[in-house]
Amino acid sequence: MSVLTWLPAVAIGAVSTMLVPIMAARPLSASIAAGVFPPWWSNTEIVSAASRAGSIVGSGTLPFVIIVRVEEGEAAQRLSEQGALFSLDPSGAPLCARIER
């Protein structure tokens, strides 16, 4: 059996294993969430979209992760409406290291 035969299955398994903990870190609080925006967006586009979702209170270790607070709740939904690929709980996600209080 050739390596090319089983390599796609191994790649899918590896990516799935890495994504499960990230996706499990969904926001615990309705009022604060980290939005993961498309990495191909410019910094200006990301900050603009995040600020339309709520008050920016921090950033992640990657430039396309922005943490917002929405006093009325629904932070994850508002981030999604502004183009975030998904939202995470900023307190437990490794991509969210810097939160300004």
Give residue 52's domain range.
25-99
Residue 66 lies in a domain: yes
Burial of 91 (0-12, 13-18, 19+ CB in 10 A): middle
Residue 37 lies in a domain: yes
What are the tens digits of pLDDT across the range 58-72?
Answer: 888 888 999 999 988
Residue 12 lies in a domain: no
Q: Identify the weakest region by mean pLDDT among 2-16, 58-72, 77-91.
A: 2-16
Which residue type, as a one-letter code, is found at position 3? V
Residue 34 lies in a domain: yes
What are the tens digits of pLDDT across the range 21-48?
Answer: 555 555 567 889 999 999 999 999 999 9
C-alpha triplet 100, 46, 32: angle, nearest 5°: 40
With a pLDDT cut of 70, the percent of the chain lying above it is 68
CA 49 to chain centroid: 13
